[in-house]
């Protein structure tokens, strides 16, 4: 995946869009441009990256030829939240309580 950032700063562009697209195509990469300032494609970039990673990991899990060590290393670990531990917390919520 090739991501160009700060696409809102067109006058300061170092790499022309066509050059980036050609490079991405040649290297078989997905290409997109983002701008945090304008909220352009930021969430899409993260979701695309996570979707691609999930697809790769899923394929590896399915193709593990019965080797329990390989498939076990690809399994996630459950995280359990103790509801009672959070009930005594002070503050009105939010990130800083």
**For the segment 28-37, what is each residue's pLDDT rounded down to a tens digit?**
999 999 999 9
Residue 60 binned pLDDT confidence (cut-offs 50, 70, 90): confident
Q: Give the highest mean pLDDT range of 1-5, 58-62, 88-92.
A: 1-5
- CA nearest 37: which of 70, 8, 2, 4? 8
Give the helix ranges, DSSP H, for 1-97: 17-26, 42-63, 68-73, 83-87
**pTM, rounded to two decimals:** 0.56
Q: What is the mean pLDDT of residues 49-76?
A: 72
**How many helices (H) and strands (E) would you count in the chain?**
4, 2
- Residues with Cβ within 8 Å of 38's Cβ and at least 6 positions away in sequence, in order, are 8
- Mean pLDDT along residues 61-69: 63
More confident site: 87 or 10: 10
Between the alpha carbon of residue 35 and those of residues 10, 43, 47, 87, the distances in Å are 11, 10, 15, 39
């Amino acid at each position: 995946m090739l991501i160009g950032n700060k696409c809102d700063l067109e006058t300061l562009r170092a790499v022309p869009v066509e050059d980036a697209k050609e490079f991405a195509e040649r290297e078989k990469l997905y290409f997109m441009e983002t701008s945090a300032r304008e909220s352009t494609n930021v969430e899409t970039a993260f979701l695309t990256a996570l979707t691609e990673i999930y697809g790769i990991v899923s394929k590896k899990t399915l193709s593990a030829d019965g080797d329990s060590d390989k498939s076990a290393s690809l399994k996630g670990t459950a995280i359990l939240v103790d509801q009672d531990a959070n009930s005594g917390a002070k503050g009105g919520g939010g990130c800083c309580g």
